Structure 1
Amino acid sequence: MKLSKVISENNVKPHKKIKLSSAIGLALSVFLGSSEQAFAAGHHYMRLDAKKPPSSVQIVKDSFGTRYFADVNGPGGFDDRHEAMHSSKGFRFYCINPGKYTPYGTSKKIATQASVGVKKVLRAGFGVNSAEEMGFKGYSSEAEYATQLAVWVACGATTHITWHNDAHGKKVHEIYNWIQKHKNDKKYNTSGKTTLKIKATNVNKEKGTATLTPIVSENGSPISVDVTLEAANLTTADLKPIPKSIKSNKPINVKLKENGENSDDIPKASITATTPRFVLITPVYKSSSANTQNTVGIVGCKSGNAQDTWSFSKIFEPNTPPTPPEVKKIKAQFDLVKKDDEGNPVNEAKFDVYTADEGWSMDRLIGTITTDKNGVARSGIIDPGHYIAIEKSTGKNLDVDATPVEIDLTEENLTNNAKITKEVIDGEEIIVYHLTVQGPINNHKKPLLTSLLTNLEDNTKYSQPIHGPQILNEHLYFSHLVGTVSYNVHAWLVDKATGQPLVINGQKIEAHKTIGSPNNDSNDGGIEAVTDLQLRIPNASCLAGKDLVAFSEIARSDKPEHWTAVHEDLNDKNETVHFSNPNIHTNAVNKETLGKQLQPTDGETITDVVSYRELIPGKQYTLKGIIMDKDSGNAVMNDGKMVKFIHKFTPAASNGRTSVKVRFDAHHYRNHRLVVYESLYYNDYLLTDHRDLNDIGQSLDTTNPQLHTTLSDNTQKVLAPKKENTVEDIVRYTDLIPGVTYSVRGKLIDQVTGMPVVKQGVPVMATATFKPNLANGTITLTFVFDGTQYKGHNITAFESIYTNGRIVAAHEDLSDAAQTVAVDHTSGTVIPLPQPRPDTSHNSAQVIVNNNNNNNNNNNITNENSNNIIDDTGNTACRQTDSIADIESKCFDTNKVSSCSEGTVGKNCQKSSIGEDLSKQSETDELNRDKRVPIEESKSQMDIHTILPVMRKQVATNKAQPLQTQKEILPQTGIGEDRPLQGVGIAMFVTAMSSLVYDARRKQTVA
């Protein structure tokens, strides 16, 4: 009934968020079972054939509703409302704990009965009596509440009552005062047991007649029950046999049978009346929750028979006073014997002794007795009667058993079961009966078990699901152990989510140990012990995110069925260890660009940013990674070894990120997608990993940059030798990374010597730095050299593109006509064009040019050239806008070029190769456009008579082909998008034309 408290337990029935009631009733079917005797005649309490009340009761119905008649204050708290409950037939129980909630469900009987004071209130109050019988007809609700208040006062549960100043409150107060007044009436100060007395009236000894009435009373009032009769030498007044049974309180006329004529005996007769005897019991029931009330009720339990005998004779004896019977003074004494559960005497056990009524309700304390070394506690010499002894302490490692010991020192029981001695007390000889009573057997205290489960590694409440063993430590503390015996200790792990024992690889995770002390108990609490059990998990990888709880038990080796303590609590935080659920996610980027593209250089660096969750702060972890080639599914190799990395770190928080850099040679993986695999280890065991070939976050694309160049003097391939000849090299690049700074480096090579062209002893070179905003574009290099030193020589430009000092792509081919010019001569001596020779320089074996990506538009952000590079937008003689006919007329003069006849085909005139090679090259380009792999360039010279049909076909093909774009790439960080290639066909045509002019002029010289 505490206003601030709302109960949510299953065994409590809430009612408008307040305490349901302060009284409960018992279900008759549960309470009585098959032994129901219904209510005692004229009363309102149950009578049972059983000698004891039931061990449990059930609440089934409430009554009267919520009442606000008074406010109660006491040790248990404040109570301002009340709602009674009872069984289906009106049997009532009252609460003894104001301020608590009424139990809903089962309550169990305890050994102790209510005090005599509570018993008097219940006998005088509502329930045993109706409101009308109490003199308050029509006020049942008020009478019930008044009885509840009187019960609280009698058991000391309240210190103050504040009465409500309304009609109901005043009536409750009035009835309460009536109960307090009448509870001490004589009839309520007895045990309330059944009594039987034969009342004789109209006795005529001369005629041998009388009227007999068996009077049966309970709780101080007459009741109507069946009474059995057993008569000797009597008949009814009409000379019929005495009936075997009659109703109590109803008279029967009897007549003495006459003796025979020859008999001198005086006629005598007797009659005995018998009825079952019931004693009023006040059992206390304990609720199943500490938040709910204990309750008390009153019930009649069978206790033998009530009996009375009446007898008389027909003729009076002489009129002399009868001799009074001898009055014997008797006393009683009892020995209470105590043993423990092993049969050993219990020394120094203390018992409080109380007087009691015939229903064994405690009354007043008369003293305390203590057992000796033999386990015997002897009382003093006391009056016969009923007594109760209750154990209060044991003095050693034994459980106190507060079960009341009923000590029957009535004369009837003493006569049958006690030994007799004569004692002289105060100079008077009296008879003393000595009764031996067995006390409750004390069990040794069960071992007290407390435990703590931790990770053995660091003694914390957290562990990690490594792909390896983990050990949890169960630290156990025991007390109340018995010395000189051994105990078996057992612990096992339970999955909190399922409540089932943890099983891994078919094995239950458990541990066993035997402990014990060689010494006897040294104190009342027994032996104390501490031990640890290691619970070994062979592989913890399946435990991510789980809570594991340790269950444990201890049992005495010689008597495990008796002395066993078990700790099984899924919600015990001390016994719980949490396994983390770690995971990692990665984002791999190019360290230099922070984008998702790499370049095929020998020094690419990937920054792998690893985000982690649910790691344990302060622990050291190892991150191991390997770079995979998605195209092959194999690891990336450098010098025959896999590209791997190892990174150790210690997180400061459970969630965070760390980064690791790995540098490797990527030039073998042009146009490949590379994926970074990561695995996280703890103590050399795998904890978690991230390995997904299809994960964009882990992936980077390696570009396939290519170069192709055109070297000319204002589109002219044959130069007149001068002291300062100027040539321009238009470098066409593809698949660079926009926004990255590149440098292009070029040098001139003399085909005759294979050595660099020099000017004043210094090699002629050109460089430029640029930052493209598109992947494909052009950059122009300008070379100035002394042509007079190279008359009749062919000069070839070699180009390389670098970024941060690393080569990205190169084009170095002495046989490439497009990147070659001829210095005219007047000597008449022909210097032959050298044949291609092997070259071991980077990418020398392949010409990395894609003729479909020859974009002549300069898409550079910057163009810084130390040799004044000019931006070439096209051929001034043959423009992109010219038709094929215009190109033929402007650019080809077939009359000035010697044709190759069948008889003159040689190394300087290869008639049939050029058309076939260009056609094959076009087909190769189509096949490799998507693969972006290096394509080998034709080494053949071009024939002027075959070039025009080929060029017509090429231009037509490029017009028909749709514009190409780069293949889909990974998302970039701050990098512009790719753009379609423009003017591809015309650029190819101009390049081819420049080469043909060069060849044609050379042939004229030969001629």
Structure 2
Amino acid sequence: MTKRFVYSKSLALVMSLCMFFISVLIPMKSASAEVIHRENYEMNWAYSPQYGKNVRTELLKNTSGQIAYCLVYGLKSPNGTDLPEVGRTDDVVYRVLLNGYPQKTPEQLGVPTWQQAHYATQLSIWHALGQINTGELQFKDAAVEQATKAITYAADHTGDTQDVYMNVQPTDKQEAKLNGEYFETTTYAVETNAKKGEYKIQLQEAPAGTRVVTEQGEAKETFQLGEKFRVQVPKSSKSAELSLRVTANLTNQHAVMYKGTSVIQDATVLLEHSQEKVSQDLQVFWKAVGGLKILKVDENKKPLAGAVFEVLASDQKSMGTIATNEKGIASLDNIEIGTYVVKEVKSPVGYILNDTPQTLEVKTGEMVTWTAENKQIKGNVQLLKVDAEHPEKKVAGVTFQLENSARKVISEHTTDENGLIKVENIPFGSYTFVESKAKEGYVLSQEPIPFQITEQGQTIELEAKNQPIYGELELTKIDVADGNVKLPNAEFEIRNEKGEIVAKGKTNAEGVATFKLGYGKYTYKETASPDGYMLNEETFSFEIKQNGEIVKHIVADEKIPSIQTTATDKTDGAKEMHTSKSVTIQDKVDYNDLLVGKEYTLTGKVMDKSTGKPLVVDGKEVTVEAKFTPKEANGSITLDFTCNATGLEGKEVVVFEKLFKDGKMVTSHEDINDKGQTVKFVNPEVKTTALNKVDGSKELEATDSVTIQDKVEYKDLIVGKEYVVKGKLMDKATNKPLQVDGKEVTSETTFTAKEKDGSVTLDFTFNASALEGKEVVVFEDVYQNEHNQRCVRL
């Protein structure tokens, strides 16, 4: 509750002291007086039990027509009286005046007329001064009562004062920040209880071009209350500070007190008064900074990290170093504007140092950018590919993939005729040669060949060895008829594609021969067969394609077949035979070690032993051919040679045999002196001696029964064969058979030759009574009895 006091004449001394105090605190204009007039109006709105009457007042106005109010209840109101101004009233009265009429309209105060508004304001002043307790009044007008309470309440609950104050906000030190072409402060506001006024801003140590502007950016020197201002410093100014001071001419309403007399009461009027206020000095600073940025790239504009730059100020003082990040950017922010020199002191890994200094001008709020290019370190590599066993031999045609450190293939290269790969301008880094395709005949190397390019222009020399492909040929020699039989001492030779012999060897006791051979195509063949076996003349092909490869071949040899022949007379198996127009020599061929199930061809030829040449009969050689497929390895077959043997008497013939398989002769039996192959054609001879059987004489008496005994002597018959001797008497005179009693006179005898040479007798008994004087001759024929084949005639 605001403190009240009772204003009365008895308090004149106190008031005088207060007025003196007020006049000291509040500078006043030179002493002046004001003529106050009064006007009456009808009122009957409140009754004071304290005073026992209705409370009344008059409308007071000064010569300017401004409404004044009475300060002392009960005294006479001035009317044309010249009252001196003695200062200000208490702030309590001031606040009533601010919240009463005419500062507030009747409508605002809730009353229909200005009179009611004026009356409620006057009651509130007396109440504030403790002269009337409005709470005890008996109001006859509710609107007046309510207005009085509203004014009183407002006066008690506001902090308005007649003292003029001025504050500039903010008061702390402010940073002017870059905005466009100026460093700009935040907005400053002049706070005051003055109702109106204007102010100016004084700047100290401000750079040229500094200005004060409104919130909207309008530069001006004088500002009205309510306007805010900013300070703008040109952005070209270097970092510094300035101070500002606000000087204001402020106008406010004061409750001016006019001094009455002993019978005329004091009055108060709400009037405007102006005064100058000066703020404290306020500080403003700004940072005139910018930045520099370096973008480090390679020749392809790819950002480079890790480049380090030293930054030198204009006085050559080092500002330190900055390094580019993964985006290739190195920056220095918030540095004082001016000229700087940047110099690369460390290049990105893998790049050539670019140490040419660069001058950069840093401007306020700007980031000066310099793009610096580095050339990548590049070098060369040479890879020489040689034969691992013969390093002097260079290997051409080997393909390598060149991989970077991420194992990504970046190129592919093949060794030239000198075994070289040359790769130039390889960027800095770690690399690996990986062999992807070996030269034919060499093992693909699985060992990577790493190298690094670390210096500009360097040439790295590498050597890689290729191991020739070696494989093995393993030959196993077996018996073709029995694969379980392994054959030692079979000799082989190996030839390359050019036909050159590259290896020789023979099978060991297990029948195995091995040959270490390089990559390529080869042939081999048997050059010497094991004892008792045929040479396998087939040429076999094989190829060594992979290192360590073992090519296994099984080579089968046939045992050398053997044949044994026995030529005989087919009729009786004899080794001698008689000639005839058709004879058959049968040759029994005993064979050994043939291949069961394979077809063979056996050819035979009859040879004249005396000449050693084929026997020719009727202009042709005597030959026979037979095909057969043995069911067993050992067996026999016969060949029959049938020919006209007339004229071959006395000849020995030999049968030659050849055995073929698959058109190739596998064995033969051609021994001209082999008795088993020989057959002899005998040359029988006979001579006869006809005698009288009785006395052995050559004459016979012509009787009716005579016997002529013919002794037949033979040579070169075949022992053991049965012969028949047939004889016939011939009339010598007629050279015809002798007829006796109409029949020829014949005789025959059968015998078996026990020796090649011998004799038999043949008796001819006949009636010779009619043959007196005749000479008869005995004709003899000798037959080999089995076929009734005549062997000889006499």
TM-score between the two structures when normalised by the length of structure 2: 0.35
Bigger-Rg structure (1/2): 2
With normalisation by structure 1, the TM-score equals 0.28
**Greater share of residues in helix:** 1
* More strand per residue: 2
